[in-house]
Amino acid sequence: MKSLLFWILSACLGAVVGVISALFMAGLLSVGPKIGGTVDVGGWTSDWSIGSESANPYVRARVARHGLLALRKEEAVYFTKSTDQSGNPLRETCVYRVEGSRLPATWWSITLYDSQSRLPMNTDRKLSFDKTKAEVTFGGDVAWLFDVRPSAINNEMPWVSSRGADEFDLTLRLYRPRADLLDDPVSVLDPPRITRLSCDGDDE
Amino acid sequence: MRRLVAFLLFIIAAIGGHALTLHLVPSVIMDTAQSRLADQGLPLHQWAASPRMTPQTQTIVRPSPDLSYSVCRFDVRDGPVLISAPGWDGYGSLSIFDDRTNNVFVANLDGENAEVLILPLSDKDALITPDLADKERVLIAEGLGLALIRRVAPDAQLHEAAVSLIDQSTCKVIRQY
């Protein structure tokens, strides 16, 4: 009887270890490895596993959790950056200029999210900048720029509001990206540059 | 001997638990998503549009304020399901996800309509009426799935226009089992 209990306990312990190790390996716990491809283009990072078909069960489990209902990569890819060109975290108390050139996609947008991955709680209606706005403002999307700031100023410069965001990041979405971007994102993507113009206490 | 058996049982159970967990995670996540949509009042085989994503209406992390979303839950255990969506002046797509979160179908809606017939693997040779014979077909292994329409609609007017297209979209069982 004692042996039977010992064996049942061993099996139960083994099952628990198996479950936890699977969740850990698939990156479903708060800590753990990230199996799959991360792409970094000038500090703009993307999880290249999301939106692709993978036979790896760890990648499949992680993508199911973190990329649920995500578009295939042929439909859209996402890049996120949370620091400026100097490597400092993006903060609500600073003003930034974001500049870019033509992006290899049918349509694109850049959206600001707070550290909780939420749209910042403000009513400025300046949540993102996109290709349509670039074309309207600059007569095309060959070269464009906009500011990220916590409040409007009286000029014509398009802007995205960081009011209420505290620390934040910017997410670049590229819809229907060109095939060569999917093949070689590091060479093909000219990443937008985020330059800090001023911070609270500086002379703007 | 007693310890050796215990060790073997530990290893076998660990490997089994590990493999089973990895296999079940996608299904459990999709079941949860289906349940949440059902709890929010979305019945099967009916399109519903999400409100425009703003800081005040956001219900998911990293919502895109530039997109209009419409979703339909379907169940092929009730019969083959016909799904269609009208085209859009700008980026748009119709995506179908199976019960393991796999994106089994995607169609371009940029200026063109999309239509697809969803069949269960168990009835892949279903007798379809002549008017549906030329429709593109997608086979899925199990019952429940999700159809999702995305359209670029960066302002309120475009979002309203995208929502109004629901009346021209289809998500219905075409023949009850």
pLDDT value at position A203? 56
Q: In whole numbers, what is the pLDDT of chain A averaged over residues? A: 89
Whether A64 sits inside 8 A of B26 (CB atoms) is yes
User: Number of Cβ pairs closer than 8 Å across A and B?
Assistant: 155
Torsion of CA A101, A105, A110, A111, to 10 degrees: 180
| Rounded distance between C-alpha atoms, residue A188 and residue A77, angstroms | 13
A-interface mutation test, from B3, B10, B95, most A Cβ less than 10 A away: B10
Taking 60 as the threshold, does the pLDDT of residue A164 lie above it? yes
State how far the Cα of A179 lies from the Cα of A160, in Å rounded to an integer: 30
Residue A32 phi, psi dihedral angles, 5° rounding: 145, 170
- Given a cut of 90, whether residue B43 has pLDDT beyond it is yes
- pLDDT of B128 > 70? The answer is no
The size of chain A, in residues, is 204
Instruction: Give the Cα separation of A51 and B56 in Å (integer).
Output: 28
Taking a C-beta distance cutoff of 8 angstroms, is the pair A137, A160 a contact? no
Q: How far is B76 from chain A (nearest CA, A)?
A: 19
CA atoms within 13 A on the CB side of A189: 27
- A-contacting residues in B 26-85 (Cβ below 8 Å): 26, 29-30, 33, 53-56, 58, 61-66
Q: What is the mean pLDDT of residues B78-96?
A: 93
Q: Do A17 and B14 touch (CB under 8 A)?
A: yes
Contact A83, A89 (CB under 8 A): yes
Beta bridge partners of A98: A146, A194
Instruction: Tell me the C-alpha distance between A81 and A63, whole Å.
Output: 20
B83 Cα to chain A: minimum distance (Å) = 17
State the pairing for strand pair A159-161/A143-149.
Answer: parallel
- pLDDT-derived band of residue B153, with 50, 70 and 90 as boundaries? very high
Give the Å distances, CA to CA, from B156 to A184, B153, B160, B162: 36, 8, 6, 10
**A98-131 tens-digit pLDDT:** 999 999 999 999 999 999 889 999 999 999 999 9
- A10:B9 CB<8 A: yes
Name the residue with higher pLDDT: B134 or A176: A176
Residue with tokens 């996800």: B97
Residue A204 pLDDT more than 50? no
Identify the H or E element spanning B22: helix B2-39
| Nearest-angstrom CA–CA distance, B2 and B18 | 24
- The minimal CB distance from B148 to the residues A23, A69, A113 is found for A69
The reported pLDDT for the residue numbered A26 is 80
Q: Provide, rounded to the nearest whole percent, the portion of chain B with pLDDT above 70.
A: 96
Average pLDDT over residues A82-95: 96
Q: Which of A64, A109, A116 is nearest residue B25 as measured by Cβ atoms?
A: A64
pLDDT in tens, A3-55: 889 889 999 999 999 999 888 888 778 676 666 678 999 999 998 887 776 66
Flag if B6 and A10 touch (Cβ within 8 Å).
yes
pLDDT at A93 over 90: yes
CA distance B70 to B167: 11
Q: How far is the C-alpha of A172 from the C-alpha of A28, rounded, in Å?
A: 24
Cβ A127 vs Cβ A109: under 8 Å? no
To 10 degrees, the CA torsion angle through A195, A197, A200, A202? 130
Q: Name which of B24, B27, B66, B106 to mutate to probe chain A: the one with the most chain A Cβ atoms within 10 A of its Cβ.
A: B66
Q: Which residues in chain B touch residue A164, judged by CB atoms under 8 angstroms apart? A: 55
pLDDT of residue B177: 63
Higher local confidence (pLDDT), B130 or B72: B72
pTM, two decimal places: 0.84
Percent of chain A past pLDDT 90, that is, above it, reads 65
